Amino acid sequence: MSQQNQLVDDPRAMRALAHPARLAILRRLQVEGPATATECAEVVGISPSACSYHLRMLAKYGFVVDAPPRGDGRERMWQAPHRGFTVAEPDELTPELADAKNVLARTVVSGLMDDLIRYLESSVRESREWRQAATINQMLLLVNAEELQELGARLTEILQPYLSKSRTQEEAPPDARLVQGIVQLFPRPPG
């Protein structure tokens, strides 16, 4: 599996990815490794046949590929060839590309907010140690575009060694868990 993010610059690929089930399937394969459509369907909460359809759509744009078979080889295995994806930011943003990026971004952000709400609702079941370690901050920064870009690069650099795509479970401390990190740095819309 590649450690690199997949660059997504095709509006059709962005629209194909902008489906909550497809994003969940892709995340399952990126985090946990190869799986069958039935195994992915369980995580996403859809039927195996619906999951197979979504896997074929993901495969059409290179987000997933066939994985080596296991056992008797009768089940089709899927894997994510990349540990993440990055949406291209071209110099010239066509209306089609801008719309596709917005659709994908809305789906991703909606999923992240769902994750945050699930955490907040279940946090009472976390240990005191994990509750105190969790950080949810909202802050307004006063920066120019150059400073914003530098800040984003520095935060990414700090987080890089801890990313699940940067180290394996064996390299992490024994009590390490997957932690959802969301860094959003964007100009605040007027009004």
Q: What are the pLDDT digits (tens) for 125-177?
A: 999 999 999 999 889 999 999 999 999 999 999 998 998 878 888 999 999 99
Please state, in angstroms and rounded to a whole number, the distance separating the CA atoms of residues 83 and 130: 26
The CA–CA distances, whole Å, from 78 to 21, 33, 103 equal: 15, 9, 26
Q: What are the pLDDT digits (tens) for 85-127?
A: 888 787 778 899 999 999 999 999 999 999 999 999 999 999 9
The residues facing 5 across adjacent strands are 84
Q: What are the pLDDT digits (tens) for 7-57?
A: 898 999 999 999 999 999 999 999 889 999 999 999 999 999 999 999 999
Domain ranges of the chain: 5-136, 137-191
Helices (H) and strands (E) in the chain, counts: 7, 4
Residue 1 pLDDT > 60: no
Q: What is the pLDDT of residue 3?
A: 53
The pTM (predicted TM-score) of the whole model is 0.81
Please state, in angstroms and rounded to a whole number, the distance separating the CA atoms of residues 56 and 48: 12
DSSP three-state, residue 85: strand
- Classified by CATH at the fold level, domain 5-136 comes out as Arc Repressor Mutant, subunit A (1.10.10)
Q: Which of 8, 2, 31, 19 is nearest to 178 (CA)?
A: 31
Structure tokens at 140: 């307004």
% helix, strand, coil for the chain, step of 5: 50, 5, 45
Q: Which residue has the tokens 């009004």?
A: 191
